[in-house]
Amino acid sequence: MENYSILIPSYTVGPEAYKKVPEYCKTYGRTAVVIGGTKAMAAARDKLLAATQGSEITILDFVHYGTECTFGTAKILERHPSVQKADMIFAVGGGKAVDTAKLVALDLDKPYFSFPTIASNCAASSSLAIVYNEDGSFCEFVHFLNSARHIFIDTGIIANSPIQYLWAGIGDTYAKYYEVSVSAKGEHLEHYKAAGVSLSRMCIDTMMDHGEQALKDNRAGIPSYDLEQVALTIIVTTGWVSMLVARDHTMDYNGGVAHAFFYGLCSLPNFTEDENRLHGVVVAFGVLMLLVIDGRKEECEALKAFNRKVNLPTKLSDIGVTVEDVAKAAPEMVKDADLEHYPYRVTEEMLVEAARYLDTEE
């Protein structure tokens, strides 16, 4: 039998979460460098300095990560004197800054801690980095990086972040449940994979229970209980699930129709991400496609009712796409890596038929 370890990052959450920084970081070193985006560092700077003042931890510098997570950006950061000198890295931001810090941490063999300043994705907790080319186009997924030693989630900062991040994050997060549970259907699962699939259920339940109120509280800038539950599910639960269901290369239950739908549409020249077509919003619609294709029209209606409450899309035109667009993108959708492990073959006809069904609102 093979020996293996499962390492899942721990977290601290709350409006004063950073106060725990000295306690959880001191075993890894005495000096830290912050790597982050401009807005994220502006939001976190004072709280980080206050939390570490008079403690055993000294923040050497705040270094702007760049504009895109590229291998080139990571190399530039690795040559920065403060980055070289620090014992550990504090990755502050949304997705790209944290992913860039992961590449730096790997190359320099330094521990890193993550400080998500928005609740939109699981970059802070996952061991994956989404790397882009210098021109901003997608380059590759870098899997199996080290995950953060601890995640510090300041809900005060998140409550004051722009609402569209949480809005899109809700869609991308509930997709995790539908995609993982369908991908693993009928499989014999060992302990950690079974744990990941069971845990994915939270990705829809928490959104149904707290999503609507969390959005209201984000709009009002209140770090409420509902916002905390939703933020934790978006940032932490999805990351844990991703790691548990894809520990090795041989079997990855992440991904499914919803993400294949999004990436397929991205191949169309007239499809660009905008305010109504954020990744998580299109993926939220992709879940409706998944349910229709999976023959679960009743569940599709229930999810549409939830989407209506939180203003996520319920019909194809809500994301500015036509049945013809889906037909054009369908050859790309069926080839997408997200469908590599699926219980049945998804065909172009299935996608077009589902799009037609979802083209009109009953």
Residues that bind Zn ion (CB under 5 A): 172
Q: Which is nearer to Zn ion, 47 or 259 (CB)?
A: 259
Q: How far is the CB of 157 from Zn ion (least distance, A)?
A: 22
Q: How far is the CB of 283 from Zn ion (least distance, A)?
A: 5
Q: How far is the CB of 125 from Zn ion (least distance, A)?
A: 14
Q: Which is nearer to Zn ion, 18 or 178 (CB)?
A: 178
Q: How far is the CB of 70 from Zn ion (least distance, A)?
A: 20
Q: Which is nearer to Zn ion, 43 or 282 (CB)?
A: 282
Q: Which is nearer to Zn ion, 103 or 283 (CB)?
A: 283
Q: How far is the CB of 176 from Zn ion (least distance, A)?
A: 8
Output the 3-class SS for the chain: CCCCCCCCCEEEEECCHHHHHHHHHHHHCCEEEEEECHHHHHHHHHHHHHHHCCCCCEEEEEEECCCCCCHHHHHHHHCCHHHHHCCEEEEEECCHHHHHHHHHHHHHCCCEEEEECCCCCCCCCCCCEEEECCCCCEEEEECCCCCCCEEEEEHHHHHCCCHHHHHHHHHHHHHHHHHHHHHCCCCCCCHHHHHHHHHCCHHHHHHHHHHHHHHHHHHHCCCCHHHHHHHHHHHHHHHHHHHHHCCCCCCCCCCCHHHHHHHHHCCCCCCCCCCCCCHHHHHHHHHHHHHHHCCCHHHHHHHHHHHHHHCCCCCHHHHCCCHHHHHHHHHHHHHCHHHCCCCCCCCHHHHHHHHHHCCCCC
Q: Which is nearer to Zn ion, 260 or 330 (CB)?
A: 260
Query: Residue number with the shortest CB distance to Zn ion?
Result: 172
